[in-house]
């Protein structure tokens, strides 16, 4: 299927590694020129060089802290200047949820929740707010927000709040922007094979004597009984970023390999 993406222009936040990098690669392979944004300049520049060499598309690295409204506005302004416009926004800039933090009520401080909302929810809001006028002006666009299956699981107060908030943001944007030609969706990955997971399991394998494959199999509790790769998440996001996804907006797409048992409707 031709996704009709050739010549489109995208911003991918969190684009230096993980799901964001995989999405940038997926879009570029379909003919999209891409701006990738992240806070750390050096790995971001390295990722842009690699993607440009792999795909033959224009890939521009713009260091950006999505926690800073001025930097977000500068990101969009420079994207328009560099690429001549913007058609697609993929929000993927977020830290792993409160990495290492306790998840129970007593240990969930105000600061933990504020940090999660500031980084993921408000960061996504800032980028959407800056990009939307350009999409509205041209009468077409796609916004895809990367959230997580933590929106459907009560494993952590902070994790659930931030992921549900991204879904709520998505639905509000979809209803407002839909009549203007813009589709907005949220994607919920589950456990995903990224550089971070591979590094973690490699270290565990060295300590335990098990292989990375064996350790992955222990973690894979989804319907498919295997860990989903970041590239497989990117395949779904790339479709959602395309004109072919016209019938999908405002909804959540789970890309975790299936959750055994519950019926979501």
Which domains, and CATH codes, for the chain?
A: 9-191+230-254 (3.40.50.720), 193-226 (no CATH)
Q: Which residues partner with 88 through β-bridges?
A: 10, 142
Q: Which two tokens stand for residue 203?
A: 């270290």
Residue 98 has pLDDT above 80, yes or no: no
Q: Tell how far CA 25 is from the center of its chain.
A: 13
Average the pLDDT over each of 21-25, 76-80, 120-124, 154-158 and give the range with the smallest value.
Answer: 154-158
Q: What is the mean pLDDT of residues 196-224?
A: 90
Per-residue confidence band for 37, with pLDDT thresholds at 50, 70 and 90: very high
CA distances in angstroms from 30 to 24, 52, 239, listed in the order given: 10, 13, 10
Buried b (16+ CB within 10 A) or exposed e, 89-115: bbbbbbeebbeeeebeeeebeeebeeb
- What does the block give as tokens for 53? 């060499």
- Which pLDDT score, from 0 to 100, does residue 100 have? 60
DSSP assignment letter at 107? T
Q: Is 14 left (phi over 0), alpha (psi -120 to 50) or beta?
A: left
Q: Which residue has the higher pLDDT, 21 or 207?
A: 21
- Provide the angle, in degrees to the nearest 10, between the axes of the packed helices 123-138 and 157-177: 10
Burial of 34 (C-beta count, 10 Å sphere; 0-12/13-18/19+): buried
Tokens 């990009």, located at residue: 131
Helix (H, G, I), strand (E, B) or coil at 148: coil
69 alpha carbon, distance to own chain's centre: 19
Ranges of beta strands (E only) in 92-177 are 141-146
Residue 88 pLDDT class (50, 70, 90 cuts): very high
CA distance linking residue 100 with residue 79, whole number of Å: 35
Q: Which two tokens stand for residue 11?
A: 């911003």
CB atoms under 10 Å from CB of 28, counted, come to 24
CB atoms within 10 A of CB 144: 26
Distance between start and end Cα atoms, the chain? 28
**DSSP conformational letter for 95:** P
Please compute the mean of the pLDDT values over residues 77-83 and round it to a whole number.
97
């Amino acid at each position: 299927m031709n996704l009709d993406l050739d010549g489109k222009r995208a911003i991918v936040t969190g684009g230096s590694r993980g799901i964001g990098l995989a999405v940038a690669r997926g879009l570029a392979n379909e003919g999209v020129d891409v701006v990738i944004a992240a806070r750390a300049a050096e790995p971001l520049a390295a990722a842009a060089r690699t993607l440009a060499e792999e795909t033959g598309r224009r890939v521009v690295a713009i260091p950006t802290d999505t926690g800073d409204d001025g930097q977000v506005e500068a990101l969009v302004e420079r994207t328009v200047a560099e690429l001549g416009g913007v058609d697609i926004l993929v929000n993927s800039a977020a830290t792993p949820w409160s990495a290492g933090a306790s998840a129970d009520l007593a240990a969930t401080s105000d600061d933990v929740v504020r940090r999660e909302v500031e980084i993921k929810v408000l960061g996504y809001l800032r980028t959407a707010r800056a990009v939307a006028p350009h999409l509205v002006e041209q009468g077409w666009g796609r916004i895809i927000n990367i959230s997580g299956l933590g929106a459907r699981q009560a494993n952590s107060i902070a994790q659930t709040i931030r992921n549900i908030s991204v879904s709520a943001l998505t639905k509000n944007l979809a209803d407002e922007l839909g009549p203007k030609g813009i589709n907005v969706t949220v994607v919920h990955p589950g456990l995903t094979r990224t550089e971070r997971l591979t590094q973690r399991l490699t270290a565990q394998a060295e300590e335990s004597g098990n292989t990375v494959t064996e350790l992955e199999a222990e973690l894979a509790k989804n319907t498919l009984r295997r860990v989903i790769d970041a590239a497989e998440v990117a395949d779904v996001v790339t479709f959602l970023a395309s004109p072919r996804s016209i019938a999908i907006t405002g909804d959540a797409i789970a890309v975790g390999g299936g959750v055994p048992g519950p019926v979501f409707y």
